[in-house]
Structure 1
Amino acid sequence: MIVHPRNNAARPPGCRQMAGAGLLEVLIAVLILGIGLLGVAATQSVALKASQASTMRSQAIIEIYGMLDAIRTAMPPESLVSPAARAAALAGYQLERTCDAGVAGGDTLARNDLREWMKALHADLGEGTCGSVACDTGSGECAVTVEWDESHLPGGVSGNTLTIKSRP
């Protein structure tokens, strides 16, 4: 085995050869990486909250249109030409603001539709969800309102209300 002597003549005096990263450089790199990962986690949390709030709003819209479709489906054919028939059909779908899923029970199609709608609201938006249906029997326009609470979400607010008006 041949050992070659080091040639230190090419280097200026007092210079050391770098052998790798020191402990301080590694600690600084880990610190910067940790701060970056915390920033990514915080961004992910904000995005998740916004996504959940958007999902709840979309679900409220779906439920409102579901109720309007139920009213539209239950309208008798004569309601197209007879204001009295339209008024009688819409009168069954009147629902004062309520948060109780069982309050709208009854033996008519309208009462059953309202009860099932309130159950769906509670299942999709939470137990504190409230709803109301107000139909103007003269014009035939119905306003369906849903109120829900997002305060259980991080940074969520309570008292969200959405009303959609339509003529079934």
Structure 2
Amino acid sequence: MGGRRNATGAGLLEVLVAVLVMGIGLLGIAATQSTTLKYSQDSMGRSQAVIASYAMLDAIRVALPDDAATNPAARAQAIGAYSLSRACASRESGGSLVKESQQAWVASLQEGVGPGTCGTVECDGASGVCAITVEWDESRTGGATDNRIVTRSRI
């Protein structure tokens, strides 16, 4: 009989404390997972914005006429034609290569970065410098509402 008195199991209070500690730990893990997901989505939006800005610069480079290397006037005109005022939604397609590229770019911004994303292309034909601006809103994931990147490159 003496051996049975010393062999006691866990009491109800110990089990309740263990469940409480485990529950708090699981809530902490869930909160960490939620925060990680939010920051991952915000980072993906930034990455998509950078990729989109480089895609527009590449589209401008590809569309340069064959004589752009030897004819500065043709080069300046081709680069300057890509200037696009702030666009937040795809407009009707224009028919020219420039307009089609711009519309495809704005549509890719909407799909890749998110709805409400706006893009601006400012190209100076004389210097050959283009500034691509992408603006987007991360408020749906708890982020900032006024995100902006500007990518400048000489074409």
After TM superposition, the score normalised by the length of structure 1 is 0.87
Structure 1 runs not aligned, ≥5 long: 1-5
Per-residue CA distance 1:8-33 (angstroms, 9 max, x = gap): 4xx8xxxx423210000000000000
For each residue in 1:98-132, what CA deviation from the matched residue of structure 2 results, as whole angstroms up to 9, or x when unmatched? 212116x3121011100110111111122211101
Give the 3-state SS of the residue equivalent to 2:149 in structure 1. strand
Asked if 1:121 corresponds to 2:109, the answer is yes
1:52 maps to 41
For residue 16 of structure 2, the aligned residue among 27, 36, 39 is 27
8 A contact 1:92–1:111 mirrored in 2: no
The number of residues matched between the two structures is 155
CA apart distance, 1:77:
2.4
Equivalents in 1 of 2:70, 2:127: separation in Å? 13
Alignment of 1:44-123 (within 5 A): 44-102=33-91, 105-123=93-111
Residues in 1 aligned to 2:112 and 2:84: alpha-carbon distance in whole angstroms: 19
Which is bigger in relative contact order (C-alpha 8 A, separation at least 6)?
2
For the pair shown, which has the larger CA radius of gyration, 1 or 2? 1
Return the offset for 1:78.
1.4
Indicate if the aligned counterparts of 1:147 and 1:160 stay in contact, CA closer than 8 A: yes
8 A contact 1:133–1:142 mirrored in 2 = yes
In structure 2, C-alpha distance between the alignment counterparts of 1:111 and 1:90, rounded to whole Å: 13
Identify the match of residue 121 of structure 2 among 113, 116, 133.
Answer: 133
Mapped to 1, the partners of 2:79 and 2:99 lie a distance apart of 11
Q: CA RMSD in A?
A: 1.6
Deviation, structure 1 residue 159: 1.0
> Structure 2 stretches of 5 or more lacking a match?
none
**After TM superposition, what 4+ stretches of structure 1 lie above 3 angstroms from structure 2?**
none
